[in-house]
Structure 1
């Protein structure tokens, strides 16, 4: 392995063990500054480094004339076996690289590493590794899987996939909403309006109908609400009849949810829930009381003062006046229990942004109790989806969304594509439909609300999940027809065209996208990378023909396209998208 080098006062170490290719200035400093401006490949230069950006980041002093600084820095950068030319523009340094070396090293590396390509990059070596617990999805039992839980489910799955890919041990936890006063309402309602026959035939739909009806009755009759409160007190005190009914509701709910998770390609290591911690919540209250943190208000509720001045200007309620626990109390108990059970290095909660205040209070109380590991807990918030409708109207349940996506894709396939050649068109349509939903969701910042539009989601042209799947399937088709190019020798001198170099340089940036995702847990960076790669591949497939080309040229192009297919599939899987090989 080559020794450390110094360029312009910056220490550079060998990158990926590939001679000088990745530790020269442009491929090391340029990338480590993370997220400097990317300039589209052009004939005059392959990469451009902004000197003003270096100054903003504090890597260069800002007192000196910027153009003089750019010229001085460029003189310190040696041409070598990789960098063919270094020129100075207006406060920028332009680099032209030897494309044959780029092609040879990138294609060799993708071929050798396969699904692990990019994950061992020096750019990612500094990422903390350990045990990560991700809590996501978390629907409320006894209710059908609401469409609103789609975002938590796919975002949490992406974060779990990313952490696993980067070498972390991940615990995927589904923390079910299976306790609280709403179950008192449901239990009381089922005693009045429930039917065992209907429960067996269509369990969650029947429970949903019961819940809607009992809530409507409670609005008119205070006695209904009182009976609901009594049923919940029976649950909290462990009365077997109430618990047996609750357990039945929970079992059938989890069974129904698992069908939906299977359709989305999502798995969990543990199904937990508020009920697991209702007794531990009492221990938390005792600890808070013993530490002098629990106060009682005039209304009889138990609170924890969170105000900096200790004047109760900001507090969290952790106990109802009737002595029953609250959601936040059970979350405190759950966090403590998880730390003891898993000794995690970080814990990530994926819920909508309306719960930001809730988790801020949870983390503050944990720290007040002396649990400094609360600093390793993180809430990933997301916005709302507006306008999600099926042909039948407003969407309520996630399965309706999945059916609508699959049905629309299937109709498009039957109308325009060769679906008759598919062994199982329904499976393909499902995977393409799920990809469409995920990419639509992940294109922007997670915390932003967005409006859902089926027409835009299912476009074949443009930045959509269908376009990603179609690009991958085209590359698979090329491999089926002509092979991957692995069988023969590679002549990198045959990959000099702009279109091929563009694909190679995009592949080179894969680890940058992963680093960005790792830093802020936003999938948009990976989505944008994959879409850009797909557009470059589409151009390449039009302008770099394999069929009819001389064998050495065809082999080189096949290696190029097969590497793009590998990287595209790797990134799609991290996002939670199952690549299809035929469409």
Structure 2
């Protein structure tokens, strides 16, 4: 495994420079591979050693590089050492590389790469991730899909690295929209339609009442009255609200199940309406609450204290706002879960909201606010189904499954499947996820059905196809698999390149844990699939002698294992036939 080699090279450096070996771990990284090109396995960054004070930060860096390279001795582990431009390259013994990298796949293959010393610096405490967070009665659209899959990836990643993770869905289940819905349901609602297609019907009522209220002052007033009744816990209003909420959560859970997403806690703004009033009192007692000219309650966030930048926390009629409830929610979560970090996953238009939230919390005396983080993402353009504009996520999932089913029926390589719909669903969802994850999360992107569902090219379909092909190879050769294999039979450049690529797996997970971007893992897995495609051609199992077949199967099952583990962290369910 990578950590065995990294540790051994760090020990060698520690002995030469009389330093602790741990000091060299951050400066050592696996060399990215390029097809067919022989390269070293690890490189040591001299500038990192200068920054950390191990080497003098002045003087010619190239001279330092060459001097250190000359001091290092070869041994049974490292067979080549060379000075590059500001880096020292290490090539490890090929047979040892094969043996150590493929050893773990005998027993705990799902743990591969997760026990790396790179993760020792991570603060493995309790991580609360708030994601998805749709609004009840409004459409569950592309933005909620992004929040759902990104949040799920972050929660999976943190969990795989040993954090205790709380997955939270914070529903938009309070606020003026409920005044509108409550008032509107009385006029436009139908109990029968609500039973048949709850989300669709609530959405239709919501659209209709908003349209009507544009030129109907009485309806606007009725909406305000209904919301005030809710805030005052009047039983009729609360009963209708509860019904809407329960119906909606049930419907959402069905969609989440299809996506393979689950939550530990369904929370919502409604849970914090009373605590929001307490927050207002705390702001008042600390002298932070001011009254604006319009009679609203505001907090002054301007550096000069001149009210040039304020955050509104109270309407003029005394009802609370989204930010007031978010302040109450954050305080409540810290008291309840004692989290070590809290991550909010929402689109980038909410960046200012979180900026204000993270400013007001410390002003209220909550020093843990610096452990809260907002992960923003860009917008999706052009997400349409055949029937028109997307309103509900369910429609997108249905369309992905239908298109994938059609593509599979046209393909010559499609296997006879017990449940083609289920396979099409899983592959369609992986296509959605990989399209979303390939670039930086903050970027907007244009949704493209055809490109997303291609079997060739860097898509989720290609990941699934590569995995299914490996599973098929392993199934066909079940009798040939053995507990022991001869590493000297895997010294061709094709197999060495795959193993060199696998050396980077823990670094890729570490990088993803640092910036919470899934693109590192996606690109790593796509590259692995391209290398596997070459190996299928160049390292046949069928027709090889028994010991060669055993060794190659060990390589292919190792690659299959890492591919499946990585896909699961991304939130993709690997299929073993397609």
TM-score class normalised by the smaller sequence: over 0.9
Q: Does 1:83 align with 2:91?
A: no
Task: Give, in whole Å, the separation in 1 of the partners of 2:141 and 2:29.
Answer: 37
Larger relative CO (CA 8 A, sep 6+): 1 or 2? 2
Once the two structures are superposed, residues 418-474 of structure 1 have per-residue CA deviations (whole angstroms, 9 ceiling, x without a partner) of 546111011100000000000110011111111111111111111110110000001
Structure 1 residue 199 displacement after superposition: 1.0
Task: Give, in whole Å, the separation in 1 of the partners of 2:283 and 2:58.
Answer: 55
| Residue pair 2:435, 2:460 contacting (<8 A) in 1 also | yes
Q: Does 1:141 align with 2:136?
A: yes
Query: Quick one: structure 1 residues 275 and 92, their matched pair in 2 at CA, closer, same or farther if it must change by over 3 Å?
Result: closer
Task: Give, in whole Å, the separation in 1 of the partners of 2:403 and 2:47.
Answer: 46
Alignment partner of 1:295: what SS?
Answer: strand
TM-score computed with the length of structure 1 as normaliser: 0.93
Listed as ranges, the gaps of 5+ residues in structure 1 are: 15-27
Task: Give, in whole Å, the separation in 2 of the partners of 1:381 and 1:342.
Answer: 24
Match of 2:248 among 246, 253, 256: 253
Point out the more displaced range, 269-278 or 54-63.
54-63
Match of 2:237 among 242, 258, 277: 242
Match of 1:38 among 32, 57, 61: 32
Structure 1 residue 39 displacement after superposition: 5.5
Once the two structures are superposed, residues 355-378 of structure 1 have per-residue CA deviations (whole angstroms, 9 ceiling, x without a partner) of 111011111111000000111111
Q: Does 1:472 align with 2:467?
A: yes
Q: Does 1:214 align with 2:214?
A: no
Match of 1:549 among 526, 544, 549: 544
Q: Does 1:47 align with 2:55?
A: no
Q: Does 1:317 align with 2:317?
A: no
Match of 1:566 among 555, 561, 565: 561
Task: Give, in whole Å, the separation in 2 of the partners of 1:336 and 1:51.
Answer: 43
Q: Which residue of 2 aligns with 1:482?
A: 477
Query: Quick one: structure 1 residues 151 and 245, their matched pair in 2 at CA, closer, same or farther if it must change by over 3 Å?
Result: same
Q: Which residue of 2 aligns with 1:428?
A: 423
Once the two structures are superposed, residues 549-569 of structure 1 have per-residue CA deviations (whole angstroms, 9 ceiling, x without a partner) of 111111000000000001110
Q: Name the count of aligned residue pairs.
A: 569
Match of 2:218 among 187, 211, 223: 223
Q: Which residue of 1 aligns with 2:3?
A: none
Query: Quick one: structure 1 residues 368 and 201, their matched pair in 2 at CA, closer, same or farther if it must change by over 3 Å?
Result: same
Q: Which residue of 2 aligns with 1:21?
A: none
Match of 2:534 among 517, 539, 562: 539
Q: Which residue of 2 aligns with 1:20?
A: none
TM-score computed with the length of structure 2 as normaliser: 0.94
Q: Which residue of 1 aligns with 2:200?
A: 205
Task: Give, in whole Å, the separation in 1 of the partners of 2:341 and 2:86.
Answer: 42
Alignment partner of 1:220: what SS?
Answer: coil
Query: Quick one: structure 1 residues 252 and 451, their matched pair in 2 at CA, closer, same or farther if it must change by over 3 Å?
Result: same
Structure 1 residue 143 displacement after superposition: 3.1
Q: Which residue of 1 aligns with 2:520?
A: 525
Q: Which residue of 2 aligns with 1:112?
A: 107
Structure 1 residue 492 displacement after superposition: 0.4
Q: Which residue of 2 aligns with 1:388?
A: 383
Residues 334-413 of structure 1: matches in 2 within 5 Å?
Answer: 334-413=329-408
Task: Give, in whole Å, the separation in 1 of the partners of 2:59 and 2:481.
Answer: 51
Task: Give, in whole Å, the separation in 1 of the partners of 2:19 and 2:297.
Answer: 57
Alignment partner of 1:138: what SS?
Answer: coil
Task: Give, in whole Å, the separation in 2 of the partners of 1:92 and 1:162.
Answer: 30
Structure 1 residue 487 displacement after superposition: 1.9
Task: Give, in whole Å, the separation in 1 of the partners of 2:431 and 2:28.
Answer: 29
Alignment partner of 1:447: what SS?
Answer: coil
Listed as ranges, the gaps of 5+ residues in structure 2 are: 1-6
Query: Quick one: structure 1 residues 37 and 87, their matched pair in 2 at CA, closer, same or farther if it must change by over 3 Å?
Result: closer
| Residue pair 1:39, 1:48 contacting (<8 A) in 2 also | no
Point out the more displaced range, 368-377 or 409-418.
409-418
Point out the more displaced range, 61-70 or 381-390.
61-70
